[in-house]
């Protein structure tokens, strides 16, 4: 009887410890966080101009932890890649989403504003430095020799203005850029280039493939398949 009691007590201890250990084990991390997934989907739908789908994605993003200012920043950055009309349409869609959520009693977090920048700064020098740091080396090419103006615009505006802003980190901006380009389509040279830049700034190869898979599931099979093909090519797979 005593031996049986000891056995049952030992079994209870093992089950309790084992159960506690099992309960304490951390869940397997997702390759992309819900916040990152929202950045991907918002950026792609906004670039495509699919405003109905964008409306849902923006609401999901707010629910997944993006602030209003972060979503605004994504849609401002959009115009450098997909044009001012898509950017303005995206911002108008965000305004509608916020108005509808407010009417339902939802108070969304604005989040910090972008830090002020010196209006007298040397935008070309700052943009050149930001571009070099972002890419990992000075950016040169025949197209910039053929048309130096486009190089100046890239340095002064995209990298001297947009990438000089705070609110979003560079790896988040590059995840957004890759998603915008994947959504636009037929820009695989730029898509591959920005996938490399994204990895230089902390986005992993697994995250790029997860992004492509997510695009296929949420945005469209063609966009997802193409992004996966380019990602595997960039990764040498």
Global confidence as pTM: 0.87
pLDDT value of position 7: 38
The architecture of the domain spanning 34-112+168-235 is Up-down Bundle (1.20)
What are the residue ranges in the chain where pLDDT is below 50? 1-29
Q: From CA 54, how far away is CA 47, in angstroms rounded?
A: 10
pLDDT, one tens digit per residue, over 65-76 is: 999 999 999 999
pLDDT, one tens digit per residue, over 187-217 is: 999 999 999 999 999 999 999 999 999 999 9
Work out the number of other CB atoms within 10 angstroms of the CB of residue 34: 14
pLDDT, one tens digit per residue, over 107-116 is: 999 999 999 9
User: 3-state DSSP: the chain helix, strand, coil percent, rounded to 5?
Assistant: 75, 0, 25
Q: From CA 198, how far away is CA 121, in angstroms rounded?
A: 27
Q: Evaluate whether 163 touches 73 at the Cβ level (below 8 Å).
A: no
Q: From CA 180, how far away is CA 82, in angstroms rounded?
A: 8
């Amino acid at each position: 009887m005593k031996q049986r009691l000891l056995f049952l007590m030992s079994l209870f201890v093992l089950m309790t410890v084992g159960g506690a250990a099992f309960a304490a084990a951390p869940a397997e991390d997702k390759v992309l966080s819900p916040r990152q997934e929202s950045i991907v989907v918002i950026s792609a739908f906004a670039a495509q101009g699919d405003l109905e789908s964008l409306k849902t994605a923006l609401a999901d993003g707010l629910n997944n932890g993006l602030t209003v200012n972060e979503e605004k920043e994504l849609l401002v950055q959009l115009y450098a890649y997909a044009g001012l009309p898509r950017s303005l349409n995206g911002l108008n869609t965000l305004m509608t989403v916020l108005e509808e959520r407010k009417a339902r009693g939802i108070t969304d977090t604005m989040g910090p504003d972008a830090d002020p920048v010196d209006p007298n700064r040397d935008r070309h020098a700052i943009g050149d430095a930001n571009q070099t740091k972002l890419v990992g080396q000075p950016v040169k090419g025949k197209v910039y020799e053929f048309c130096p103006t486009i190089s100046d615009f890239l340095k002064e505006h995209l990298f001297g203005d947009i990438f000089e802003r705070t609110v979003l980190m560079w790896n988040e901006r590059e995840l957004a850029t890759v998603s915008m380009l994947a959504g636009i389509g037929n820009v695989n040279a730029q898509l591959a280039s920005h996938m490399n830049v994204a990895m230089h700034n902390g986005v992993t190869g697994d995250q790029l493939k997860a992004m492509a898979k997510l695009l296929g599931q949420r945005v469209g099979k063609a966009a997802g398949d193409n992004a996966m093909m380019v990602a595997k090519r960039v990764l040498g797979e």
